[in-house]
Structure 1
């Protein structure tokens, strides 16, 4: 489908998504109108033959000039419809000279075309698209043309003035209609701009809301993350202090012991680096990332690393997510935020559980009909029925004041549904709650036509 056709379909169906597309659609309509009118004016030479009762080319030059002007303006016009241009005025001037020529060549005041002089300003009201100047020029020149036609036919000054007055009355009516149309058009354009700005602000507000909720979740984990960093940092510092003390005493370290100290220190630094990278990746605003695919297993692993401080408080985590699952259609940062929200909510729900084996979380996933289904289950007290109905509502929370924003699960649902997925909650038969996240698979484009070793068919 070419660009012009797409714009016309959007304009007729109201599907233009941006102000630029809407303006382009109106411009295409104006240009198409000029071309259509130009072709029609030229083709009406057949009407001249019917009036004269014979085939003649005397009216063809005037019609070609008239119609050709409109066709050229339609083909090369680039002025947006809400800006003043000279296009309609040029058409008005050309019409004011060509149409009287046609009337005079087909019988003058006795020609059936003569009575169209009154309608010309009204026609310009329709095709000038709010250009009051063009209608005013058409009114004045058309009145002069009518008076010339009547005067050349021997109608006298009074009759010429009468027809000129009628033409002016029609023109004034056309000017009022054009003025009203111009005001309506400007109001519509202003409304569209305001609507586009409102949608932009709403999108920005939604983006900020998601970022604030992510940072709020990160803040809840901050104390535990600091402790998580202190552990590897402590034995790295201990190893360095041990080497310094040995150096101060003039002692040398055995190669095996030195290698072990070096290995432990590297592991500690790698652990700190991993924690910092996970935090930076999670806190980063990835709403504009081009890559919207992510691996469920990698996302769950990162969420467990980020939530480790909270999960270490006596919570048993069972990770049964296979690594071979197909990638899903959700950005990694968004997906991590979803899983981390579900994990932290599950930990809070199982904090006072009376289960024999203590708090337990289970994560599992499977593929089903071009989707990946992730289960996050806990053995807590479950979700009351009256809470279950409102669980994903914005600002609804059962946590004490100051401990929950009520946006976490609402944002989870928004992120998942935005890519065509679903998220639901239910109570397990054996006790506890289960959250079910269903996301569409994101297959590589080449899989539809290429299959071979190492490529899932």
Structure 2
């Protein structure tokens, strides 16, 4: 039988080594099977038959020779080779039928299957099935006429072979149509995927341009912010010293002390943000090192307490002995601070009574996980998939730019970690930050 490969009709034709080995394996199995079935001849004839043995040996050698030529042939030569192989396959089978009892041979029932097998193995070439059908029909006609001399019986066999050929050709045509439809669907699907990738790439490019613009703008105003900020820090420290040096009641002194401390924390936070923005704009981040996540959370919680003080209760649960992570401490603190501030904004906007923001740390299979949760309304279904998109925000223009979570996830990924958002089963939002354990 011909190998299951469509004829390209192009020259030169190249066959890979793997394909060549596969064809030789198929030819070897086919030839060995043909010779092994000589045992069937012995049962049918009840005696050894040199003729059927020679036929089987010739059939096996023809298959090996065909494979050898098939690997090397191309173009028109390949077509002639496959046509000849189909005719010879039918001829060898008909020869076995003739020498094992003619129309009464058990092999006679296999004759109509030859065109069906040709159509099954080579559906792209209906000509091969037709050629096999013609060879089988003529052979069946001759064998029945020679053996029985019954014209009606011979015509019946011709009709059976013709029907098998028809169904084989029809089935192969339907297969080709289905294959063509599948190919068109695949091409259309690939086209749509390419268009989607192109649109996504264009969107990413546009967002990158926006980020670059923001970076250039941030770089240009950093110096302008730093100068007045230095005056504010200096004057604030002068006022603190002068006021606290006055003779004041103890309660008033404590209130002034608290106001100055909170104001200084706020100014330090502004200074830190300015420094971070300068780092983003210049991309000159400091080198990461091993750091304790509990200490980072403490730094962030202390700054976030100013924002959460009148909005929610901040609860921190960081177990002792939590493994260290490898990251830039200051940037990691900025990420956690951003998550805490976002949680406070969500609780304030939803006007949640008894709001709570909870930070929990734990070690899990070579990673350190930090959960930032709140008891607010959680993320809306349409918001959750877009939460980390650049410039996407549900806050007003005076509260958010849509860059906080995008930059936070980017920084976490630089440290080999992940940042994901989800809703808690009991209600509220959850940000899951995971970092690999530092293996010093």
- The TM-score range, normalised by the shorter chain, is 0.5 to 0.7
SS at match of 1:385: coil
Equivalent-residue separation in structure 2 for 1:208 and 1:166 (angstroms): 62
Are 1:144 and 2:142 matched, yes or no? no
SS at match of 2:384: coil
Change over 3 Å in CA distance of 1:67–1:440 after alignment to 2: farther
How far residue 225 of structure 1 moved from its aligned partner, in angstroms, is 2.3
Equivalent-residue separation in structure 2 for 1:141 and 1:338 (angstroms): 80
Equivalent-residue separation in structure 2 for 1:76 and 1:407 (angstroms): 68
Q: Could you say which residue in structure 2 is the equivalent of 1:63?
A: 56
Change over 3 Å in CA distance of 1:388–1:75 after alignment to 2: farther
What pairs with 1:205-216 in structure 2 (closer than 5 Å)? Answer: 209=203, 212-213=206-207, 215-216=209-210
Change over 3 Å in CA distance of 1:184–1:96 after alignment to 2: same
Equivalent-residue separation in structure 2 for 1:368 and 1:158 (angstroms): 82
Deviations 1:127-184 (A, max 9, x none): 2234312111111122222223234436266654553343223212221112112222
Are 1:278 and 2:283 matched, yes or no? yes
How far residue 38 of structure 1 moved from its aligned partner, in angstroms, is 4.9
Q: Could you say which residue in structure 2 is the equivalent of 1:110?
A: 104
Are 1:41 and 2:34 matched, yes or no? yes
How far residue 407 of structure 1 moved from its aligned partner, in angstroms, is 11
Q: Could you say which residue in structure 1 is the equivalent of 2:149?
A: 155
How far residue 190 of structure 1 moved from its aligned partner, in angstroms, is 3.6
Equivalent-residue separation in structure 1 for 2:63 and 2:147 (angstroms): 30
Change over 3 Å in CA distance of 1:57–1:372 after alignment to 2: farther
Q: Could you say which residue in structure 1 is the equivalent of 2:118?
A: 124
Equivalent-residue separation in structure 2 for 1:337 and 1:202 (angstroms): 34
Question: 8 Å contact 1:88–1:131 — kept in the other structure?
Answer: no
SS at match of 2:368: strand
Question: 8 Å contact 2:103–2:148 — kept in the other structure?
Answer: no
Deviations 1:237-291 (A, max 9, x none): xxxxxxxxxxxxxxxxxxxxxxxxxxxxxxxxxx999766518x9xxxxxxxxxx
Question: 8 Å contact 2:368–2:436 — kept in the other structure?
Answer: yes
Q: Could you say which residue in structure 2 is the equivalent of 1:53?
A: 46
Question: 8 Å contact 1:391–1:409 — kept in the other structure?
Answer: no
Deviations 1:403-447 (A, max 9, x none): 65699569959x97xx995624799xxxx9984311456x9xxxx
Give the counterpart of 1:394 among 382, 386, 392: 386
Q: Which runs of 5+ in 1 are unaligned?
A: 1-23, 80-84, 233-270, 282-293, 301-310, 355-362, 444-454
Q: Could you say which residue in structure 2 is the equivalent of 1:226?
A: 220
Equivalent-residue separation in structure 1 for 2:210 and 2:290 (angstroms): 24
Question: 8 Å contact 2:335–2:408 — kept in the other structure?
Answer: no
Are 1:370 and 2:366 matched, yes or no? yes
SS at match of 2:33: helix
Are 1:437 and 2:429 matched, yes or no? no
Q: Could you say which residue in structure 1 is the equivalent of 2:420?
A: 423
What pairs with 1:159-198 in structure 2 (closer than 5 Å)? Answer: 160-198=154-192
Change over 3 Å in CA distance of 1:211–1:29 after alignment to 2: farther
Equivalent-residue separation in structure 2 for 1:338 and 1:230 (angstroms): 26
Deviates more, 1:54-63 or 1:135-144: 54-63
Are 1:92 and 2:86 matched, yes or no? yes
Q: Could you say which residue in structure 2 is the equivalent of 1:260?
A: none
- Which structure is larger by alpha-carbon Rg, 1 or 2? 2
Question: 8 Å contact 1:121–1:171 — kept in the other structure?
Answer: yes
Q: Which runs of 5+ in 2 are unaligned?
A: 1-16, 73-77, 227-275, 294-302, 308-317, 349-358
Question: 8 Å contact 1:131–1:182 — kept in the other structure?
Answer: no
SS at match of 2:369: strand
